[in-house]
């Protein structure tokens, strides 16, 4: 009986979160009441308050879950890449696509900072986003560790840039080409990382100039650009790039994936 009650409680909690997410996405936080959530979930107001102390807590849990899902999808997008740079580019493209989905757009990026406060939102974003980006930068650098004075500012640069691209897409801001932004970001990261690396770290270097290698990777899948911007464009696809740096081992990648998964459960609401 106890197991059945626990299962019923989990099912009710899940129904509340599912209904709340749909309502928050469609109507927004302010226009969604506890009564509306309860009615949609098929439970009483009291049942909602049995599982959550407030509407804000419900919103927070949904926002954290969505945020974690975004970063898991970004991580997965780079798994089939042939190089660390390509993995970073594929992950960045996935980020620009996934963050435009209605629930992610409204709950995570539009209303998240307002409802949760900017400090709380940044805490969530940094615990999940910075962890993922730091791993990607280590892969690009071809090393297992970098001083915080190098790694963290570069990760913050990447996270801030991708967030701003996301907001530009949400606003449908003119004059912003996501692919050009991504190219500039990769160039900045390369210029910031490579000169600071110790010699003899085992990286394999491309025989092509960096600009050509990045352009080749960015232009590899032109469909992504069409989906993002609604037009066919991009860079001239005439050159093929070789692997810039060795990717992290499968064991390291699995550990990083587990850390991303666990981080989403450790953020208190």
pLDDT over threshold 80, residue 159: yes
Name the pTM for this structure. 0.73
Q: What is the mean pLDDT of residues 14-33?
A: 98
- In this structure, is the dihedral angle defined by the CA atoms of residues 245, 251, 257 and 263, taken in order, positive or negative? negative
| CA distance linking residue 87 with residue 214, whole number of Å | 12
pLDDT at residue 225, rounded to an integer: 36
Q: What is the mean pLDDT of residues 195-204?
A: 47
pLDDT at residue 13, rounded to an integer: 96
> Could you tell me the pLDDT band of residue 8, with boundaries at 50, 70 and 90?
confident
pLDDT over threshold 90, residue 253: no
| CA distance linking residue 230 with residue 133, whole number of Å | 27
* All CATH 1.10.10.60 domain ranges in the chain, comma separated: 1-52
Six token digits for residue 56:
């804000």
| CA distance linking residue 168 with residue 152, whole number of Å | 24
| CA distance linking residue 61 with residue 222, whole number of Å | 36
Contact residues for 7 (Cβ-Cβ < 8 A; gap 6+): none
* 7-21, 174-188, 210-224: range with highest mean pLDDT: 7-21
Q: What is the pLDDT of residues 50-63, one digit of tens each?
A: 999 999 999 999 99
pLDDT over threshold 70, residue 258: no
| CA distance linking residue 133 with residue 153, whole number of Å | 11
In CATH, what class is 1-52?
mainly alpha
Please answer whether residues 204 and 258 qualify as being in contact, where contact means their C-beta atoms are separated by less than 8 angstroms. Answer: no
């Amino acid at each position: 009986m106890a197991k059945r009650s626990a299962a019923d409680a989990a099912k009710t909690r899940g129904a509340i979160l599912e209904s709340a997410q749909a309502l928050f996405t469609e109507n927004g936080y302010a226009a969604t009441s506890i009564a509306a959530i309860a009615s949609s979930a098929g439970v009483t107001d009291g049942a909602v308050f049995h599982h959550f102390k407030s509407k804000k807590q419900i919103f927070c849990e949904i926002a954290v879950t969505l945020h974690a899902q975004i970063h898991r999808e970004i991580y997965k997008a780079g798994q089939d890449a042939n190089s660390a740079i390509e993995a970073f580019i594929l992950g960045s493209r996935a980020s620009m696509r996934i963050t435009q989905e209605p629930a992610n757009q409204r709950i995570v990026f539009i209303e998240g900072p307002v409802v949760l406060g900017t400090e709380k939102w940044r805490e969530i974003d940094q615990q999940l986003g910075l962890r993922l980006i730091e791993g990607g930068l280590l892969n690009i650098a071809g090393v297992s560790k970098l001083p915080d004075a190098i790694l963290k500012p570069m990760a913050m640069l990447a996270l801030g840039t991708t967030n701003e691209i996301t907001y530009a897409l949400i606003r449908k801001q003119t004059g912003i080409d996501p692919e050009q932004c991504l190219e500039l970001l990769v160039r900045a990261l390369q210029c910031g990382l490579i000169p600071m690396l110790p010699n003899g770290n085992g990286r394999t270097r491309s025989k092509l100039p960096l600009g050509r290698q990045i352009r080749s990777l960015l232009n590899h899948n032109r469909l992504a650009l069409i989906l993002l911007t609604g037009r066919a464009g991009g860079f001239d696809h005439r050159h093929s790039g070789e692997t810039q740096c060795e990717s992290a081992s499968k064991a390291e990648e699995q550990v990083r994936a587990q850390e991303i998964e666990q981080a989403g459960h450790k953020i208190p609401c």
